[in-house]
Structure 1
Amino acid sequence: VKDIAGFGMTIDIALVNGCLSVGDKIIIAGQEGPIVTQIRRLLMPASNQELRTTNQYQNDDTIKGARGIKIVARGLEKAMAG
């Protein structure tokens, strides 16, 4: 869980199979119970960049397939990793 300037709180995920879209409702494990929130943005690193080392992101409305992405949503401050 990271606070990224211009985006707010984000989480890094590895989308292995399926599809995520802006506006989808997601449930994340939180320190005080489940966090139900809605995806505000889906960020991918620029081509040939690692998710954890870049500060330039592509903003997409829908992500499919296997890739690492950042999710921007409300209420992620107390999200748990793992």
Structure 2
Amino acid sequence: MPLLFESGWQHVCDQVLVVTAPPAVVLQRLMARNHLSQQAAQARIDSQMPLAQKVARADVVIDNGANIDKTKAAVLKWLKTITK
């Protein structure tokens, strides 16, 4: 599946939102969701643009490393800015 920055499509978006989480959390979630080994999950992560580069290119960054309520609150706050 092509990713936004990697495929060069970010220019067609009004805003780019990047969702972050600590690397260990990302790895564990990917392994659980896709039933991947640690090595396969890490290889998939490594094949993508580094998170720091995505964050630098983003208009909005949402932290998804804590609990779901904080993530939902951040998303709702962002949605209010685009639906005025």
Settle same-fold status: TM greater than 0.5. Answer: no
Task: Place the TM-score, normalised by the shorter chain, in its bin.
Answer: under 0.3
**Which structure is higher in strand share?**
1
**Which structure is higher in helix share?**
2
TM-score, reference length from structure 2: 0.25
Q: Which is higher, the Rg of structure 1 or of structure 2?
A: 2
